[in-house]
Amino acid sequence: MHRMHNTGPGRVFDIFNHVFLAVVALITVVPFLYIIGGSFATESEIATRSFFVIPNEITTAAYDYIFSTDAVLRSLGISILITVLGTAVSMILTLTMAYPLSRKTMVGRNFILNLILFSMLFGGGMIPTYLLVKGLGLLDSIWALILPVAINPFNLIIVKTFFQELPKELEDASKIDGCTEFQTFWRVMLPLSKPVIATFTLFYAVFYWNDFFQALLYLTDTTKWPIQLLLQQLVMVANMGIGDLQEAQLYEPPEESVKLAVIVIATVPILLFYPFLQKHFAKGVMLGSVKG
């Protein structure tokens, strides 16, 4: 294989491959660079220039408007709390449910798996779910944003498949050494599951960070709004005060640059999270793929 890449056709393929990937990366990055540049541009420049990366006149008016109230910083803190707590809860429940379901000797395994598959196809609906959350006393609580969506059935099945494909000899060896089921799970299976843990930690974290619909349904107290919901309201009511946003309405906001600044604020924190999981992510995304 290495010798083939030293040949003429191999070198041509390498050059084409690198150029193609560079173009794809550029197509992916350039729009985000425009968003960053536009968030620092004036309204007139955004209206007159169809595309730019570096604005002619740099202004922080959009960020001054967004951060003119402490509501944004508070909502950022709430979003971080929801993301960290929700991801931890989801991963604990997903891993501890997936592992026993991967054991074919578990009593009632098929029945539980059928219930999980059923939940992937059918849901209770928005109103019954709202009534359930209300009946549990979770309204206006961050737990209303976590518990109803704590386990993703699709993620659960993929993690179960991962545990199922681990060599059974590892479990047998741990039992010979006197390990209980929990010790086998904690000391043997989890250390081997770093790719799956990294992958679905990222998936759950992105979901909790981006979700605003749950907050829209269950939170009426504006002081508990996560950043996504607050930023949506900032865009929608740019000229109308709502709750804590009233103190931000001291001047007419730069509407277009505010929209771009909102995208930056909502995207950058979760992007910073990715490098910490990159080591295991590439292997983890191949979980459940066809193996030959």
Between CA 2 and CA 22 the distance in angstroms is 22
Among candidates 59, 30, 28, 27, which has minimal Cα distance to 257? 59
Q: Name residues whose C-beta falls within 8 Å of residue 72's C-beta, 6 or more positions apart in sequence.
A: 66, 227, 230, 231, 265
Are 276 and 188 within one domain?
yes
pLDDT given at position 286: 55
Between CA 142 and CA 144 the distance in angstroms is 5
Are 118 and 77 within one domain?
yes
Q: Is residue 156 part of a domain?
A: yes
CB atoms within 10 A of CB 84: 12
List the chain residues with pLDDT less than 50: 1-2, 239, 241-251, 288, 290-292
Q: Is residue 84 part of a domain?
A: yes
Are 15 and 111 within one domain?
no
Q: Is residue 118 part of a domain?
A: yes
User: pTM of the entire structure?
Assistant: 0.80
Are 103 and 29 within one domain?
no
Domain extent for 200 = 70-289
pLDDT given at position 122: 86
Are 44 and 76 within one domain?
no
CATH code for the domain in which residue 187 is found? 1.10.3720.10
Terminal C-alpha separation, the chain: 19
Give the model confidence (pLDDT) of 250-290 as tens digits: 445 567 888 888 888 888 888 887 776 666 665 555 554 54
Contacts of range 121-129, beta carbons closer than 8 Å, 24 or more positions apart = 126/217
pLDDT given at position 87: 95
Are 133 and 200 within one domain?
yes
Look at the chain and report how many structural domains it folds into: 2
Domain boundary among 38, 59, 80: 59
Q: Name residues whose C-beta falls within 8 Å of residue 23's C-beta, 6 or more positions apart in sequence.
A: none
Sign (positive or negative) of CA dihedral 230, 235, 236, 237:
positive
CB atoms within 10 A of CB 79: 27
Q: Hey, what amino acid is at 22?
A: A
pLDDT given at position 178: 86
Are 49 and 151 within one domain?
no
Are 157 and 193 within one domain?
yes
The label of the residue with tokens 């000229």 reads: 239
Are 114 and 41 within one domain?
no
Are 87 and 55 within one domain?
no
Q: Is residue 235 part of a domain?
A: yes
| Cβ atoms of 257 and 41 closer than 8 Å | yes
Q: Is residue 65 part of a domain?
A: no
Are 10 and 106 within one domain?
no
pLDDT given at position 136: 92
pLDDT given at position 255: 74
Are 131 and 266 within one domain?
yes
Using alpha carbons only, how large is the chain's radius of gyration in Å?
24
Q: Is residue 64 part of a domain?
A: no
Q: Is residue 133 part of a domain?
A: yes
Q: Is residue 137 part of a domain?
A: yes
